[in-house]
Amino acid sequence: MSGQSPDSSLAEARAAFGQLDAGQKGELATEAVKSSPDAAKKEVAVAAVHSASEESKADIADAAVKTLAPEEQEELAGRLLPDRGVTNRIWLIIVRTFASILIAATVALVGAIFVSMFRRVDTALVQILLTVFTTVAGILAGFISGRASTGRTSR
C-alpha cells in the first residue's frame, strides 16, 4: 500500500469497511477514533451525534457529560442556561403578574370595605382578600429587595 495514492488507499479501506458486519464496523470505528488526533475525534463525534437516531442523541449527550469533570459539567450547564435577556423577560412577566394581582386584590379589598359600610358582608371573604393582598405585597417586596432572586437572607 505504500506505493498507492492516499485516495486509492482510502477507497480500498471504504470497500473493506463496507464488507464488515455491524459488530466489526463498530469495533473498527472505535479503534479508529481512539487512534485519531483530537481534532478528528471532535469531527467524528459531531458527525456521529448528527447521524444518530433521535432516541440515541439524549443517551449520547448524557454519556458525554458524565465523562466530564464536575467543574466542566458546571461550565457546560452554564452554557445551556438562558442568557440574561431571557431571564430578565421572565422576571418582568412574573413581577407584572404579581403587580396585577396586587392591584386586583387592592380594588377588591377597597370594594369589600366600601360595600361593608352599607350592607352586611361576610368577614371571612374580606379576610381572604386581606390575606391575598398581604401575601402578594410581601412577594413583591421580596422581589424589589433582591433577596428573592439571589437566595441571600438578611442578618
**Last residue within a domain, chosen from 80, 107, 134:** 80
pLDDT of 155: 44
Together in a domain, 76 and 17: yes
What is the widest separation between alpha-carbon atoms in the chain?
107
**Last residue within a domain, chosen from 80, 96, 111:** 80
Within a domain: 1: no
**Last residue within a domain, chosen from 80, 114, 132:** 80
pLDDT band at 2 (very low <50, low <70, confident <90, very high): low
Print the domain residue range for 146: 84-150
| Mean pLDDT (whole number) for 31-36 | 80
Q: Which residue has the cell 457546560?
A: 76
Q: What's the whole-model pTM score?
A: 0.48
Together in a domain, 88 and 74: no
| Mean pLDDT (whole number) for 84-96 | 89
- Sequence-ordered list of residues with C-beta below 8 angstroms from that of 1, at least 6 positions apart, any chain: 9, 12
Tell me the three cell numbers of residue 72.
Answer: 466542566
| Mean pLDDT (whole number) for 149-155 | 51
Within a domain: 15: yes
User: Average pLDDT of the chain?
Assistant: 82
User: Which range in 17-31, 34-48, 49-63, 88-102 is most confidently predicted, on average pLDDT?
Assistant: 88-102
| Mean pLDDT (whole number) for 61-76 | 85
Together in a domain, 11 and 52: yes
| Mean pLDDT (whole number) for 74-79 | 84
Together in a domain, 123 and 142: yes
Together in a domain, 43 and 97: no
